[in-house]
Copies of this chain bind each other. A is one copy, B any other.
Amino acid sequence: MYVKGVNLGNWLVLEKWMSPGLFDGTTAEDEYYLPTQLPKEIYEERIRMHRSEYITERDFTRIRAMGMDAVRIPVPYFIFGDRAPFVGCVKELDNAFNWAEKYGLKILIDLHTAPDSQNGFDNGGISGVCKWSQEPEEVEFELSVLERLAERYGTREGLWGIEVINEPILEDMWETMHVQERYPAVDPEKAAGSKPNTIEFIRQFYLEAYDRLRKYMPEDKYVVIHDAFRLKAWKDFMREDKYKNVVLDTHMYLMVAEMAGCDQTIEGYVNYVKEHFEADIAEMEEYFPVICGEWCLFNSLAVGHDTKGGQTVLNGQEGMSEEAMSAEEKKAIYRAVAKAQLDAWKKGSGYFYWTYKMLTDTVNTEGWVGWDCWDLGRCVDFGWFPTRE
């Protein structure tokens, strides 16, 4: 098994920086606060239009033409439409399955958010809050979403697998990322009591989720578990025979490598990828098929200044207003880090690029120079990403 894929980020789970038009006229920084700042009809219209235009049939033909086998689709906990004021999106996922099956792609459904959040990131739905795992009813709700997803899509030809929950955070990453400073909570009361999940909780959740998914999803479909940013913590996990086709997902970003001290030079990135990303995946591939479910070409060298772990104008950083590099220099950097990373993933069982598409306008809005490489479409257009490998 080796999967080459791309994430459909920002389609059914929003990220402000990837689609600023959605947040126009509000101060909301995340999906949770968007409906609190808009009249109901406007909020619903905005979401409807976004979903109907952002990803459509033609994106599936494009992704196939890029040589990809699969898409990873982040979905929110309210996908089934039972958590007002949020709008469900199961119809959109239904459509995606029909497109995928027509054009020969597989879908990894990625349950990307949880009520009160599993990580406190903006892309977890509500910035600065991380309390989900302390709320048994919401944990059960999340399991019921997984079960319903399996029931609805478990036997679809287009299903590759279901990922139990995206990026549940543990203590180490909580500290490295300074989550509550980087993603300040809007409502301190709502955030009170936020803390990282425990690994004991995550393990227990994964075991329970496996059983709930397998009620409906045959064993030839993958159950995907995220490493919770601690790739090597899973050597003794799910060793029993009953666990079939469990895939371990790890997310590896050069901007995180930079925070760990990686040199911001081509050589620095390439060496770091080889010594850490590649070595760690090779080590863990002994225990599970390992995929790198999120990664991209982004790095501070190509941007032209240290982004301090990928912080943007939305985090109060200035950003670049002009290109720091020539087109040739950028191409050389991106091709080098693309090759190094693609080589690393080959020690495992595949990858999903983050992300297929974003609307961020690097020309007409200030401070976004260098962020276009998060968009696989643009990477392919510019010749930064080798579609024939």
Contact = CB atoms under 8 A, between A and B. Distances in A.
Interface of A: 19, 21-22, 24, 39, 41-42, 45-46, 48-50, 52-54, 56-58, 61-62, 64-65, 94-95, 98-99, 102, 357-364, 372, 375, 377-378, 380-382
Most buried by B among A61, A98, A362: A61
B53 A378 contact: no
Contacts of A49: 21-22, 45-46, 49-50, 53
Given A363-B99, A375-B58, A380 B65 contact: yes
A95 B364 contact: yes
A58 B378 contact: yes
B382 A61 contact: yes
A142 B117 CA distance: 54
Contact of A362 (B50, B57, B358): B57
B359 A56 contact: yes
Nearest to A59: B377
A54 B56 CA distance: 11
Given A42-B42, A45-B46, A363-B99, A381 B52 contact: no
A21 B53 contact: yes
Most buried by B among A360, A361, A362, A372: A361
A22 to B, nearest CB: 8
Contacts of A58: 357-359, 372, 375, 377-378, 381
